[in-house]
Amino acid sequence: MPELITRPRRLRTTAALRDLVAEARLDARMLVQPHFVVPGDSVSHPIDAMPGIDHQSVDRLVETVAADYDLGIRAALIFGVPDESEKSPDGNAASAEGNLVATAVAALKDRFGAELTVMTDVCLCAYTDHGHCGLIKDGRIDNDSSLPHLAAMALSHARAGADVVAPSDMMDGRIAAIRDVLDEDGLVETAIMSYSVKYASAYYGPFREAAHSAPSTGDRRSYQMDARNRREALLEAQLDVEEGADILMVKPALAYLDVVSDLAERFPLPLAVYNVSGEYSMVKAAAEKGWIDERAIVLENWHAFRRAGADILITYHGRMALREGWL
């Protein structure tokens, strides 16, 4: 037998040694917990397709975020889920004075101040009566007429105190439109986390129930990215960088680690991944059946995201992971 000079197994002999040389590390400070806020008071209803995640009114949201904060989560991403009666062709309720998300943001900033990073999703889909992320004109999603509405929505969130606005609509030019209105309003320190690379994905199914935002006609393939494309992701991210994005994002995460790696290597900005509802719910369903070890699967996925180059993990599993002591 030849003499072995290099033995990689030497650094795997104990858990302490493996931890010492680990290349991808996890920290509670890189987790973002999403929340779905609804009208009313003292409302907290479970979302059937996403066990452990609820629709909550602002008062209950603040309580939940406080509990998350005590666990170590320092960032929340807020999605508004308005009443059906508030929906309209142009989604104007998204930016109306005292809108649902702005109210939630103000309540969170009043409670936590600078100790909590409050992020808001910016998209019209939950507010339009047709469920699309932009305005419809002549039977098509009209890019340019949608931009002022998205910018107004982001501005309302920023004025309420949001630290980060996160446009997820995938309209061309929306980062520049949002940056312009924020700067003109003196909100130069409000950051933009762009859903730069958002694919038209089957992994979003449970989210559509959570956000009540499924399109009434057609689909979103004319504006969200084609799952077959990789190089196009670099173009989308480059455009967002040039328009003023502060943080880039890839959504979904698990099926697009090649794209995560590409963006991490190409751009010096912080990179987020969205561990989306379908990824979450598949793990929850299999764990409930006893087919997988939920903790082991979640941590393996998270380490994969980190190994690919992600700095920020937006995940529905954050609360459970910290409550159960997985990190």
Task: Report the chain's C-alpha Rg in angstroms.
Answer: 20
pLDDT of residue 205: 85
* CA separation for the pair 86, 324 (Å, rounded): 39
Domain locations along the chain: 27-323
Whether the pLDDT of residue 184 is over 80: the answer is yes
- Rounded Cα–Cα distance for residues 266 and 262 (Å): 6
Contacts of residue 4, Cβ cutoff 8 Å, sequence gap at least 6: none
Classify residue 186 by burial, with Cβ atoms within 10 Å: 0-12, 13-18, 19+.
exposed
Q: Which residue has the tokens 């030497």?
A: 10
Sign of CA dihedral 213, 218, 223, 226: positive
Q: Say what the pLDDT of residue 1 is.
A: 67
Could you tell me what percent of the chain has a pLDDT over 70? 98
Helical H segments across 7-56, by residue range: 15-21
Average pLDDT on 136-160 reads: 93
Amino acid at 107: A
pLDDT of 185 above 90 = yes
- Please identify which residue in the block is written with the tokens 């987790």: 31
Q: What is the mean pLDDT of residues 296-306?
A: 98
291 strand-pairing partners: none
**Which residues in the chain belong to E strands, given as ranges?**
31-37, 44-46, 54-56, 75-80, 117-122, 135-137, 140-142, 164-167, 191-198, 247-251, 271-275, 312-315
- Catalytic site residues? 198, 251
pLDDT category at 218 given cuts 50, 70, 90 is low
Report pLDDT for 212.
Answer: 65
Name the pLDDT band for 51 (thresholds 50, 70, 90). Answer: very high
Separation CA 156–CA 191 (nearest Å): 14
User: Tens of pLDDT along 220-278?
Assistant: 778 889 999 999 999 999 999 999 999 999 999 999 999 999 999 999 999 999 999 99
If pLDDT is split at 50, 70 and 90, which confidence band does 308 have? very high
The DSSP secondary structure of 210-273, one letter per residue, reads HHT---SSS-STTTSBPTT-SHHHHHHHHHHHHHT-SEEEEES-GGGHHHHHHHHHH--S-EEE
Higher pLDDT, 131 or 272: 272
Q: How far apart are CA 38 and CA 103, in angstroms?
A: 11
Look at residue 221 in the predicted model and tell me its pLDDT.
78
- pLDDT at res. 3: 82
Q: Cβ(165)–Cβ(219) under 8 Å?
A: no
Bond into 252 cis (ω within 30)? yes
Question: What does the pLDDT read at residue 289?
Answer: 97
Give the pLDDT of residue 224. Answer: 87
Among 4-13, 73-82, 187-196, 256-265, the minimum mean pLDDT is found in 4-13
- This model's pTM is above 0.85: yes
Task: Give dist(CA 168, CA 170) in Å, integer.
Answer: 6
Q: Given pLDDT bands bounded at 50, 70 and 90, which one contains residue 303?
A: very high
Which value, to the nearest 10 degrees, does the dihedral of the CA atoms of residues 169, 80, 129, 85 take?
A: -170
Q: Are 222 and 246 in contact (CB under 8 A)?
A: no
Q: Is pLDDT of 7 > 70?
A: yes
Look up the CATH number of domain 27-323.
3.20.20.70
In this predicted structure, what is the pLDDT of residue 304?
97
